[in-house]
Structure 1
Amino acid sequence: MSEARFRVVVVDDDFRVARLHTRIVEGVDGFVVTGTAGTVAEARELVESVQPDLVLADIYLPDGSGLDLVRAIDVDAIVLSAAVTASAVRRAFQRGAFAYLVKPFADEELAEQLRAYIRYRNLLDAQPELDQSTVDRARRVLHGAGAAGGAAGARRSPTETAVLEALAASGTALSAPAIAERIGISRATAQRYLSSLAHEGQLAIELQYGATGRPEHRYRTAGPR
């Protein structure tokens, strides 16, 4: 695991759920959970104490709403909730959450959102002033709009988006290990996403022959070279 860069507070009144979310968070390189809270009051005190970069908050808490917590704290937040009404989702975004995951969700869904957060912060932290293209890229990273655009792009996961954007930015064909290093995922995960995108026709495959051994597969965005 790499050194933790981002501190996370997990807010859920079910200690078993909080423990599960903690395990997912700490399974992603770059994150450490600095505390858990079961109420709005505990969460506000903890946030003030540890100054986290990110809060994962449930909506339904014993002493109030996690949405009010998100609005009150000056911290990036993801809402994790079983609430599925349009009004709940709308209020979450109005109050400042940048993502909303509906419980129950797969571990990988939260892990992908956390990796998207790293890419988002990397973009914003790289320079003191941003041009419009960088702002647009940061928005796409958070909300998973694919580089291919359109309806298919809107359905892309944050990891698929990261793969496509890394290839587009490189301007050349890249191997699975190179992609893995650039966006912070395992080689096996990179290979799985690259193969899937190539099967869809989003990527073209080139064979790179070395002096010995099997040729290496390299991938580039499909279209005119």
Structure 2
Amino acid sequence: MISVLVVDDDFMVAKVHGGYVTRTPGFTVAGVAHTGADALRAVRELAPDLVLLDIYLPDMDGISVLRELRADDSGPDVIVITAARDVDTIRAAMHGGVLHYLIKPFGYPALHDQLRHFATLRAKLDGHPGSTALGQADVDQVFGTRPRGSTTLPKGLTAQTAELVERALRETGTPISASACAERVQLSRVSVRRYLEFFVDHGKAEVTLRYGGAGRPERLYCWSAH
């Protein structure tokens, strides 16, 4: 099992992300931390394989935590999970050698893909002695390089429907729910939401949460301007 430390200042968000980890075969939650100091302590005590690291922490920012982790060559790998979108933070995370940078809020498929990718790379590297020479394709996989145009629709989604959903988001201009988008394209809400989440996972759309009464917050989608 691959052990994961979840670091987030929001107790509910940490619980959700921990649930995502638990749902993924081959992964287990080693612990949860809500401050930078607790995260560093947990890494020393629990020795997790992977850290899901938030940037906004109450005592120190996640980049500072990352730098301390990188001071130890035997430290865990890190995936940043944060609402921080500024270039300086993203650049600092890249310099710190994070495996990936997920912008909140995101759904389970986005984190699942990164966890499975990590498991695949870990198995590939662990399956060879340290002196083994890898080919360029293997190295590209380790460093996350993908051929241009490799982003394809998953099974069950079609390019024609994706274009309809994309057009609806672009023409609306303001965040809309999956139900509202489904009405525009005259398809089922369940089907449309799959396309919307696909766009979010691939950075083509953005999602915000609208809190109302009891129950889960409503997810609102808009086409990304980037």
TM-score range relative to shorter protein = 0.5 to 0.7
Query: Where in structure 2 are the equivalents of 1:3-152 lying within 5 Å?
Result: 5-73=1-69, 74-128=75-129, 129-133=131-135, 136-140=137-141, 143=144, 145=146, 149-150=147-148, 152=149
Distance 1:68 1:136, change over 3 A: farther
Alpha-carbon offset, residue 36 of structure 1: 0.3
**Letter of the 2:93 counterpart:** A
Rounded Cα–Cα distance in structure 2 between residues aligned with 1:32 and 1:72: 24
Determine the C-alpha separation between the residues in 1 that align with 2:83 and 2:137: 30
Alpha-carbon spacing, 1:117–1:131, altered in 2? closer, same or farther (3 Å): same
Equivalenced residue count is: 153
Counterpart AA for 1:26: T
Taking the aligned partners of 2:142 and 2:117, their CA distance within structure 1 comes to: 6
What 5-or-longer segments of structure 1 have no aligned partner?
161-188, 198-225
Residue number in structure 2 paired with 1:167: none
Contact kept? 1:7, 1:31, Cα under 8 Å: yes
For residue 64 of structure 1, give the secondary structure of its aligned residue in structure 2: coil
Q: Aligned-pair RMSD on alpha carbons?
A: 2.2
Alpha-carbon distance in 2 for matches of 1:38, 1:115:
25
**Counterpart contact for 1:57–1:77, Cα < 8 Å:** yes
List gaps (5 residues or longer) in structure 2: 70-74, 160-226
Aligned equivalents of 2:144 and 2:83: distance in 1? Answer: 20
Of stretches 88-97 and 117-126 in structure 1, the one that deviates more from structure 2 is 88-97
Deviations 1:64-119 (A, max 9, x none): 11111122112100000111111111100111211100111121000000000000
Q: Percent identity?
A: 36
Give the TM-score taking structure 2 as reference length.
0.62
Contact 1:116 1:141 in 2 (8 A): no
Alpha-carbon separation, structure 2, partners of 1:39 and 1:115: 27
TM-score (norm: length of structure 1)? 0.63
Is the partner of 1:143 in helix, strand or coil? Answer: coil
